[in-house]
């Protein structure tokens, strides 16, 4: 049983990965990786560049097909499902590189995500998502949740990079996920924006499970219930932040010196 920060642990993990493997032209990107994520857990995946972290998250959301292994989400094997089917089940990914529609308003970006989730989304394709009150109202609520309620009418291309990241989270939440896959949400954030993102992720953990890929070790150790360490496509350790911080082999493998996690 996993003991989580401020949450009640449940009997079964929401995600269970076993023996996941992916190769590209003979190069092994993900090599026999196994781990699980529990309801309301923040499970961080760390490792040096080229460790296989982004490939791993792409295997989970269906952007990349696995060569071997199983992915069980909410008790169902999903490794053969296409990406949109996984999203329908409650998997939502925030990408490392921003993926918004810059010429649309902040509100319209989230309204499109709400529309895409709607069971009758096809029926609404002919009309603007920004004109339908059934879509606009929840879109505004997600913007309020991430602190962008006052920026709703602005075009997305005039808000800051940090606000772009918050907007993408609002768009992810609009898909009504159960598990958020966050690929370096702190990347490129300034000293004033990083604490805002950190606080938001702490709030999100109350209602969502989170897989966090992040290079900011201060953020990882502040947020994560458990941490998995990847090196050269392999998972070499999973443990609590204290266990990872104290593991000499992990510290040596990750950045090559035992002081790596003490900053």
208-245: pLDDT as tens digits = 999 999 989 999 999 999 999 999 999 999 999 999 99
Same domain, 168 and 184: no
Same domain, 229 and 108: no
Of 124, 149, 176, which marks where a domain is finished?
176
Over the stretch 126-167, which tens digit does the pLDDT of each residue have?
A: 455 556 778 899 999 999 999 999 999 999 999 999 999 999
Asked if 104 contacts 155 with a C-beta cutoff of 8 angstroms, the reply is: yes
Same domain, 57 and 184: yes
What whole-number distance in Å separates Cα of residue 118 and Cα of residue 167? 19
Q: Which residues constitute the domain of residue 247?
A: 1-90+177-263
Contacts of 70 (CB under 8 A, 6+ apart): 16, 17, 18, 19, 20, 77, 79
Q: Which residues face 235 on adjacent strands?
A: 230
Of 121, 151, 176, which marks where a domain is finished?
176
Same domain, 5 and 52: yes
pLDDT of residue 213: 95
Residue 8 has pLDDT above 50, yes or no: no
Of 176, 203, 222, which marks where a domain is finished?
176
- The angle at the Cα of 214, spanning 231 to 226, to the nearest 5 degrees, equals 75
Contacts of 240 (CB under 8 A, 6+ apart): 225, 226, 227
Same domain, 103 and 172: yes
pLDDT of residue 4: 57
Same domain, 182 and 258: yes
Same domain, 76 and 125: no
Residue 26 has pLDDT above 60, yes or no: yes
Same domain, 38 and 146: no
Asked if 221 contacts 241 with a C-beta cutoff of 8 angstroms, the reply is: yes
Instruction: Specify the pTM.
Output: 0.87
Phi-psi region of 248 (alpha: psi -120 to 50; beta: other; left: phi over 0): alpha
Same domain, 170 and 199: no
Comparing 11-20, 66-75, 251-260, which segment has the lowest mean pLDDT? 251-260
Strands (E), 13-139: 15-24, 27-37, 42-46, 68-73, 76-77, 91-94
Total domains, the chain: 2
pLDDT of residue 86: 94
Tokens of 78: 């999903």
Same domain, 171 and 234: no
Contacts of 172 (CB under 8 A, 6+ apart): 92, 93, 94, 113, 180
Residue 100 has pLDDT above 60, yes or no: yes
What whole-number distance in Å separates Cα of residue 105 and Cα of residue 136? 12
Same domain, 125 and 184: no
Helices and strands counted in the chain (H then E): 10, 10
Same domain, 36 and 114: no
Q: Which of 44, 37, 42 is nearest to 261 (CA)?
A: 44
CATH for 19 = 3.40.50.300
What whole-number distance in Å separates Cα of residue 113 and Cα of residue 169? 11
Give Cα 231 to chain centroid, integer Å. 20
């Amino acid at each position: 049983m996993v003991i989580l920060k401020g949450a009640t642990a449940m009997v079964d993990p929401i995600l269970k990965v076993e023996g996941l493997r992916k190769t590209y032209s003979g190069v092994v990107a993900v090599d026999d990786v196994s781990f699980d994520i529990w309801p309301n857990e923040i499970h961080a995946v760390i490792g040096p560049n080229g460790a296989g972290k982004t490939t791993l998250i792409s295997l989970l959301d269906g952007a990349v097909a696995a060569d071997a292994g199983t992915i069980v989400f909410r008790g169902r094997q999903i490794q053969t499902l296409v990406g949109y089917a996984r999203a329908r089940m409650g998997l939502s990914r925030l990408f490392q590189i921003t993926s918004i529609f810059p010429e649309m308003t902040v509100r319209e970006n989230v309204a499109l995500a709400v529309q895409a989730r709607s069971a009758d989304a096809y029926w609404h394709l002919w009309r603007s998502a920004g004109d339908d009150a059934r879509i606009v109202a929840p879109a505004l609520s997600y913007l309020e949740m991430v602190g962008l309620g006052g920026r709703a009418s602005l075009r997305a291309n005039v808000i800051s990079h940090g606000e772009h990241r918050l907007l993408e989270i609002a768009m992810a939440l609009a898909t009504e996920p159960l598990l958020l896959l966050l690929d370096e949400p702190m990347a490129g954030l300034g000293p004033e924006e990083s604490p805002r993102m950190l606080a938001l992720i702490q709030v999100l953990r109350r209602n969502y499970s989170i897989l966090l890929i992040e290079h900011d070790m201060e953020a990882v150790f502040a947020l994560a219930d458990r941490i998995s360490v990847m090196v050269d496509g392999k998972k070499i350790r999973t443990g609590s932040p204290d266990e990872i911080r104290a593991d000499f082999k992990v510290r040596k493998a990750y950045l090559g010196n035992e002081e790596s996690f003490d900053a």
